[in-house]
Each structure stands twice: as structure tokens, then as C-alpha cells.
Structure 1
Amino acid sequence: TTYPAAEVGKIARSVGALFLLDTVSSIAGIDVRTDEWGVDLNMTGSQKCLAAPLGMALVAVSPRAWEVMEHRSKPARSWAYDLLRWKEWWIPMSRGGQVPDGAPRRQPVSMPTHLTAAMSVAVRLILEEGLAHRFRRHDVAATALRRGLAAMGVEMFPDPSILSNTVSCLKVPKGIEPAAVVAQMRDRYGILIGTGLDKMRTTTLRIGTMGVTASPPYVLPTLSALELALRDLGYKCEPGAGVAAAQAAFADLT
């Protein structure tokens, strides 16, 4: 789901609190306005909508957050997680750091060269596609997926007004275990989705439309495999209805 981050940012500023925003499943898939929303620490990962390999943690830090760190009463608990090290050793003064522009810079930790190179390529591909087109592609893919699920008689969770364009959560039909659907799709049809999390693990499934998977070559086979798996487990629905509805959505919206 998504939530009103801009409004949350205003509340945080009104009480003098830092605003930390988790955008692991959002960055490069939906429009996230870090500065405009007053986000102090925007934290994401490399492997989802950015479509780079797993293994990098990315953080955007506001001037207000830097100031709080510089005046903290206790030091950071670990060297690797001390963001001030990056400001002191790596970030040039022109970008708010402490390293004179043009002077040698040092990374406070050993960086994974292969992941850094892969992230560079991923960002280049995103910019080549264009953010507006990329956001639209994720919107269309999520809409097509939801229309396909509706045609199969499968309900979404939660309120449609806050559904995300990058991860869709659906209610599993009564009498069917989510884990059984995941196993059937994986083992028989070669497609992997996930169960819900925590208390929702036994009642919901999650399907991602992120990065390259926000496209017909991924959405349509996923709907087909989901329908077949549900039918294998006793669910009744019109054969092919989900894929047909999603195909129509892609045709109408692109």
C-alpha cells in the first residue's frame, strides 16, 4: 500500500521530528518527492523497482538530518552505519559534505564493485526510459493485474484507494492456503509469488510489478499460473478470464 507521505512530512516538521521514509518498494516505480515532502532520511534497496542486484542500501539525507547526527549525544553504534563518516570522507563540499572539491576522497567501507557497477547501469536505464514513462508503465501493469484478478473473482487487499502500483496484495479464496498456492505456482508452473506478511501470511498473497516485471511478458503469465494453481486447488473461475482482462487493460492503457 501507499500512504500520504507529504502530509506525514508536514506533521513531522510541525513537531520537530525527523521524517524517515521507507521506499524499498517505491523508488523508480512511483513518484517519490524526497525534498518536496520534507523527507529527512529516504531509505531504499537496490533490488526492487531500481532493478539492480540485491545487496545495496541507499540513503538520501537532508540537511536537517545531518545536523541532528552532528549534535547527537552518543556515537553511532557501528562504523558501517555511521553516515557522518561518508560526509567526512566521501561527500564533496559542493554536495554538503566536508571533502574539498577536487580533493581525494575515501570510502569508509569496502564497496562491492560489481554491485556499484550494476547500480550505475540500472540508473542509466531508468534515465533512458524516462521517469514519467517508467511511472506510467508501473501504473498500467498494476492496473492490468488488478483487472485480471477481478475477472477471476479475486479480491484485493486493502482499500483500493491506497493500493500500490508496485506490490499488489490479494485475498486468497476461502478454503485455500496461500502457501499451497505459492508452492503450486512455483513447482508446477515455474512462477514465484509471495504470501502476505506477519498476520496476513495465512490469508493473502503478494504479487510484485516492479522494474522489468511491470510489463505484459511478466503480468500475463503470472495471472495464468495463478488461475491454474487456484483451479488445481479447487477454486472455480472462468478459464482465461484473468489473462483476457489484463490483455484488454494493456491494450486500452498503452
Structure 2
Amino acid sequence: MNFNDLPPALRASFLPPPRLLMGPGPITCDPRVLRAMSYQLVGQFDPAMTDCMNQTMALYRGVFRTENRWTFMVDSTARGGIEACLVSLLEPGDRVLVPIMGRFGQLLTEIAERCGAEVHTIAVPWGEVCDPAQVAEALDRVRPKLLATVQGDTSTTMCQPLDELGRLCRERDVLFYCDCTASIVGNAFETDAWGLDAVSAGLQKCLGGPSGIAPVTLSDRAAAVIQARRHVERGIRAADDEDAGGERIRSNYFDLAMIMDYWSEARLNHHTEATSMLYGARECARIALEEGIDEVVERHRIAGNALAAGLAALGLALFGDQAHRMHNVVGVYIPEGVDGEAVRGRMLADFGIEIGTSFGPLHGVIWRIGTMGYNARRDTVLTTLACLEQCLRCEGFAAPPGEAVAAALGAFS
């Protein structure tokens, strides 16, 4: 193919349009993270690289609020982090209990089923969370190996309380896994204090980075289960390894036993490190710890409450149990008679602002508007509310002029 014969659009570099991403994620990336990701590559076993890996592990112990030795990165999107944890912890026939309060509980169910697990679920209406008493009853009835949860489900904007669930699991010798991709550093999260055994996350929400790497932390208890399944001898798979316990982990790429070897002092080769993503992950954690995790959570709480106040002042009804809403995403009903997609289209075309639709039973019923990471700020909330007011008016909705911004300013102050 001759380059000069290509259409002009293909011959030009791709330049993304300016956008303010105020949906449920991904969000506008923090410029400091983008800068870190622009740095030059070094070899994956260069001492500078291994130092960067060690520093990143130490920083994410602070993010996760844990002393876990096994705190590291999986080179994948957040979904890959989920799959790595589940495929490495679950063997075919293992029982797993999944509370479902939205789309991402359904995702945990699907991934666990693909691991060959016997999956049991607790389903609550979208917009609610699971009561600990429900979970306790199901744990006693199912007797699972693993409880797999989502803390913040962006499909419903709900935040599942976790503090009691860890105690319930420890009393019954059940492993406790959580996907906190949408909630980490935007909402309180305490790996050790809440008794979590395995946690995975992503950068593209409250951490203010891009999708493409998944922070993971494992308790000693979870690490022992994974390492008992290893079939590795001097870096070579050996199916007849007499020391190997359990069934072989069915994924090569998402085999956490092998990835742990890669992140250990031994640095056994597993894959070529996604160096630029590692730089970005390190910077996301550094920025969060520099501000202070409690302070970051509080910033998200204030921004989320201001957005919710502004939406209510527009005459819009908020979705779900507000006592359990995530700080960083607000669900709001699309007004009757208003074309929700037309409003979203106007927001994007006229103002360069993206807000989200939803999944399944909520598709076309609510918008999801996020205040996450770099976008959890006063100016972004006020701008979004002012522009939404105008777009609603263009679609025939009688939004009270100026009330949304005034209410948000009141909440901020």
C-alpha cells in the first residue's frame, strides 16, 4: 500500500477532540499522569524498571490501605484484573457466592462460571444494595469457597457496604474478593480493616488515569491458595510437579502465581511489561497519596453531593437509594417526554461534555453523571450543570434558570 494513496484522514495523525468526560468512566485523565506516560521506555529488567515496580507496589499498599506483600499490577484493563483473581482462586466445582446489585455483579457471575465454578447469587433490585443479613444467610446455606463482590457498581451508582462482610467471611473461613474499580479513592476502602483477601481495580475512574493496567492486592491467605496451584519449576511448566496443589490455573496470561513470580525478587519472566502504563499507574497512586486518601474521598463526596443538589434543583429525580449512592456517580431519571439520547448528543456536540446512559433495565431510563478523579472539581460540576440546563431547555423541558448552578454552589460552600 502506497502511503500517498491513502485517504487524507489516514495520512494525518489522529487528534482526539477536546472532551470533558463526565460519565461513569473513563474520565478525563490527569495531565500529570499523561506526562508520566510520555517518558521514554527502559528495559524490563533494567534496575530503574525494577525500582519503579517496587515503588509502585509500595504506593498501592497506601491506596488499598493494606500491608499485603502481594500488591502489584496486572497488565490489562480492570476486567482482566477481575478475571486474573477469579481464574487463579477458583477451580472447577468450587462454590462461589455473588451478590448482584447491577451489571457488574452479573459480570462476576459470568467470569466465575467460565472458571467452572458453581455460582450462587443474591439479587437485589437495581438501585439497592445487599443487606449483610442476606449475605450471612446465603453464606451459611451455600458454604462457598469465595464471596465475590463489587463495591461500586456504576450501572446503578450504588456502593455496597463491605465492612461487615469481611467478618462474616472470616467466621466461616470463606475467601473475600472485591472489584473496586469504580469506587477506589472516591469512597472509603479498607482492605485490611475490612478483611478482604483479594482486590482488583483500574485507573480510569477516581484514580484519574487511563484504562490499561489493573492494580491487585492479595492477602497471605489468598496468596497461599494461588501458590498451591502453581505448576512452575525453575520457570518451566511441569504438569507432574509433585509439590503443585489443586488444578492448574487455566489461563497463562492471567495466572497470578506466574505474575507474582514476575513481581517477586526473582523477576521470573512472564510477559513484557507495559512500561508506559506502569509509569501512569505509579503517578496515579503518587498523586492520590500526596493529596491524602481521606482528602481525595472527601473531595469526591463534596463534588458528588454538589452535582446531586444541582440535578435536583433542575427538577430532576435522583435514582436509587441515596444513602448508598457512590460519591462519584449520580444516577438521574430522564424526564418524561425528553429524548435522553438527544440531550446526550447536544451535550457532546455543543459543549464537548460526555454524560452516560445506562445498561439493561435502566437503559433509556436514567443518565449517569460522574465526578471522578481529575474531574471531581467545582468548575467541572458547575459547567456540566449549566450546559445540561440549556440542553434540557432545547428539548422542551422547563428547567428553572440558574437554579442548578446556585444549588451546587451552595453545596460546595
TM norm. shorter chain > 0.5: yes
Q: Match of 2:215, SS?
A: strand
Q: Match of 2:353, SS?
A: coil
1:226 paired to 2:398 = no
Q: Which of 68, 81, 86 is equivalent to 2:254?
A: 81
Deviations 1:129-175 (A, max 9, x none): 11222111111101110110111111111011101101111111112
1:210 paired to 2:367 = no
Which letter does structure 2 place at the counterpart of 1:74? E
Identify the residue that residue 167 of structure 1 maps to in structure 2.
Answer: 329
How far, CA to CA, are the matches of 1:168 and 1:76 in structure 2?
A: 39
Deviations 1:217-238 (A, max 9, x none): 2111111121111111111121
Q: Which of 62, 70, 78 is equivalent to 2:227?
A: 70
Identify the residue that residue 58 of structure 1 maps to in structure 2.
Answer: 215
Identify the residue that residue 152 of structure 1 maps to in structure 2.
Answer: 314
What runs of 5+ residues in structure 1 fail to find an aligned partner? 93-98, 100-104
Alignment of 1:110-129 (within 5 A): 110-129=272-291
1:137 paired to 2:326 = no
How far, CA to CA, are the matches of 1:172 and 1:17 in structure 2?
A: 41
> How far does residue 81 in structure 1 lie from its aligned partner after superposition?
0.6
Deviations 1:35-72 (A, max 9, x none): 11111111111111111222111211111212222345
Q: Which of 165, 173, 185 is equivalent to 1:28?
A: 185
How far, CA to CA, are the matches of 2:172 and 2:295 in structure 1?
A: 37
- Percent of matched pairs sharing the same residue: 37
How far, CA to CA, are the matches of 2:390 and 2:203 in structure 1?
A: 32
Q: Which runs of 4+ in 1 moved over 3 A?
A: none
How far, CA to CA, are the matches of 1:52 and 1:197 in structure 2?
A: 24
- Whether contact under 8 Å (1:40, 1:65) holds in the other structure is yes
Q: Look at both structures and tell me which one has the larger radius of gyration over its CA atoms.
A: 2
Structure number with higher relative contact order (C-alpha < 8 Å, ≥ 6 residues apart):
2
1:16 paired to 2:173 = yes
Q: CA RMSD in A?
A: 1.5
1:40–1:79 Cα change, 3 Å:
same
> How far does residue 90 in structure 1 lie from its aligned partner after superposition?
2.1
How far, CA to CA, are the matches of 1:233 and 1:126 in structure 2?
A: 39
Q: Which of 173, 180, 186 is equivalent to 2:348?
A: 186
Q: How many residues align?
A: 240
Q: Which of 159, 168, 171 is equivalent to 1:2?
A: 159
Q: Which of 237, 243, 248 is equivalent to 2:405?
A: 243
TM-score (norm 1): 0.89
> How far does residue 88 in structure 1 lie from its aligned partner after superposition?
2.6
1:177 paired to 2:334 = no
How far, CA to CA, are the matches of 1:80 and 1:201 in structure 2?
A: 34
